[in-house]
Amino acid sequence: MDRALDKFGNDIAIAFSGAEDVALIEYAKLTGRPFRVFSLDTGRLNPETYQLFDAVEKHYGIRIEYMFPDAVEVQALVRSKGLFSFYEDGHQECCRVRKVRPLRRALKGLRAWITGQRKDQSPGTRSEIPVVQVDPVFEGMDGGIGSLVKWNPVANVKGHDIWNFLRTMNVPVNSLHAKGYVSIGCEPCTRPVLPGQHEREGRWWWEDAKAKECGLHKGNVKQQKEEDVNGNGLSQSHANGDATTVPDIFNSPNVVNLSRTGIENLAKLEDRKEPWLVVLYAPWCPYCQAMEESYVDLADKLAGSTGMKVGKFRADGEQKEFAKSELQLGSFPTILFFPKHSSRPTIKYPSEKRDVDSLMAFVNALR
């Protein structure tokens, strides 16, 4: 922080929206140097977020430089597609109008900016962010590629260490954190996370795991040539399950690894000898990784005397279209119950709760 503020002076600013950014402001204050803070007011934030903005301004004696979306663009979007079009066709268009374009305007007045990105926030898109970089997407006041430097001072800091720091310094935080919210964005696109879920899963929960960036940090999303990517957006090594790059998960003697033929046969059986619980997963998916412990624990509890089988089927890559058309795959992970002695359709686990108790309640209600 000291190096960034010393080098760029009044031409650098902290991008503020959440807990990590409060830590950045506190770090900036500790350097004793003057600093600027800006934030994006999308018009769709939670009341608690606006209360946080006010509390931070009063605590540090600063004025946050708010950036707003263009009123004409917002009006055109809402009039043509409604207030909640992102639930139907994805969040990117709304984020582009309400967040990305206002950010672009803000950065055109700077030579550098400071973000609160951490590597462990989103393993799918942020695992390789550096502490300092030439911004790969946006331009600074001088214009052109390379005209903006992006600092990510807490890139290598763990989330629990950020929170230990915030508690120690007794600084303002968003009251939504106490209600189960971890990653907080606009109100319609943010919800609390549940046991067994990754923190980023509370954002745009109706979309696939790889889409969890709004465009502010678009440079984190690696671009690959079309011929190197399959229909799932994965490199061929991921699609083929290259163990050197994507270690498998849900590894337990009590979790049966089903092949394509195995799960096809299981689905066709009308008189199963025992009920089955099967997770459709992708080992690279952070939300599958987050539930691994609870699913393996469930399998261990069900092993032996219950007469219940627990399995897994890797449904990414070339298996994804089959899983979507034949196994009700929506997004990863999808959990299916195959009833015993029945020709009833397979039952899809409807809840986002992936802790052991919730999964066990689902199993007990059906078997």
CATH number for the domain that contains residue 265: 3.40.30.10
> Tell me, what's the pLDDT at 224?
37
Measure the CA–CA gap between 216 and 172, rounded to whole angstroms.
24
Cα Rg, the chain, nearest whole Å: 23
Mean pLDDT of 344-353: 82
> Tell me, what's the pLDDT at 124?
61
pLDDT grade, residue 149 (50/70/90)? very high
pLDDT averaged over the chain? Answer: 84
> Tell me, what's the pLDDT at 160?
87
What are the φ/ψ torsions at residue 37 (nearest 5 degrees)?
-135, 130
- Which residues form the domain of 265? 256-366
Range of 20-24, 54-58, 240-244, 331-335 with top mean pLDDT: 54-58
Whether residues 131 and 8 fall in one domain: yes
Percent of the chain with pLDDT over 90: 50
> Tell me, what's the pLDDT at 50?
96
Beta bridge partners of 67: 40
Contact 200, 121 (CB under 8 A): yes
Beta bridge partners of 14: 37, 114
Asked whether residue 229 is domain-assigned, the answer is no
> Tell me, what's the pLDDT at 207?
76
Which residues participate in catalysis according to the annotation? 285, 288
Range of 119-123, 195-199, 289-293 with top mean pLDDT: 289-293
pLDDT grade, residue 123 (50/70/90)? low
Question: Which range is least confidently modeled, 35-44, 168-177, 269-278?
Answer: 269-278
* Long-range contacts at 255-262 (CB < 8 A, ≥ 24 apart): 255/295, 255/296, 255/299, 255/310, 255/311, 255/312, 256/309, 256/310, 256/311, 256/312, 257/311, 257/312, 258/311, 258/312, 258/313, 260/313, 260/319, 260/322, 262/313
Mean pLDDT of 60-77: 94
Asked whether residue 248 is domain-assigned, the answer is no
pLDDT grade, residue 353 (50/70/90)? confident
> Tell me, what's the pLDDT at 218?
52
Mean pLDDT of 261-281: 90
Name the more confident of 22 and 230.
Answer: 22
- Helices and strands (H and E) in the chain: how many: 13, 11
Is the pLDDT at 242 greater than 50, yes or no?
A: no
Question: Which range is least confidently modeled, 73-77, 87-91, 361-365?
Answer: 87-91
* Long-range contacts at 93-97 (CB < 8 A, ≥ 24 apart): 95/214, 95/215, 95/216, 96/215, 97/69, 97/70, 97/73
The pTM score is 0.60
pLDDT grade, residue 309 (50/70/90)? very high
Is the pLDDT at 233 greater than 70, yes or no?
A: no
Whether residues 210 and 276 fall in one domain: no
Q: Report the domain count for the chain.
A: 2
Mean pLDDT of 145-163: 90
Asked whether residue 142 is domain-assigned, the answer is yes
Asked whether residue 237 is domain-assigned, the answer is no
pLDDT grade, residue 235 (50/70/90)? very low
Whether residues 186 and 81 fall in one domain: yes
Q: Report the CATH number that the domain containing residue 102 is assigned in CATH.
A: 3.40.50.620
Whether residues 212 and 321 fall in one domain: no
Whether residues 182 and 318 fall in one domain: no
Mean pLDDT of 92-104: 89
Q: Give the residue from 176, 201, 220 where a domain finishes.
A: 220
Reduced to 3 states (helix: H, G, I; strand: E, B; else coil), residue 288 is helix
Whether residues 286 and 152 fall in one domain: no
Asked whether residue 244 is domain-assigned, the answer is no
Mean pLDDT of 236-252: 60
Contact 1, 148 (CB under 8 A): no
Is the pLDDT at 148 greater than 90, yes or no?
A: yes
Measure the CA–CA gap between 162 and 21, rounded to whole angstroms.
10
Is the pLDDT at 126 greater than 80, yes or no?
A: no
Whether residues 65 and 16 fall in one domain: yes
Mean pLDDT of 49-77: 95
> Alpha helices of 41-158 — where are they, by DSSP H?
47-60, 71-81, 86-89, 92-95, 101-107
Whether residues 51 and 97 fall in one domain: yes
Measure the CA–CA gap between 119 and 159, rounded to whole angstroms.
9
Measure the CA–CA gap between 210 and 233, rounded to whole angstroms.
8
Asked whether residue 20 is domain-assigned, the answer is yes
> Tell me, what's the pLDDT at 151?
96
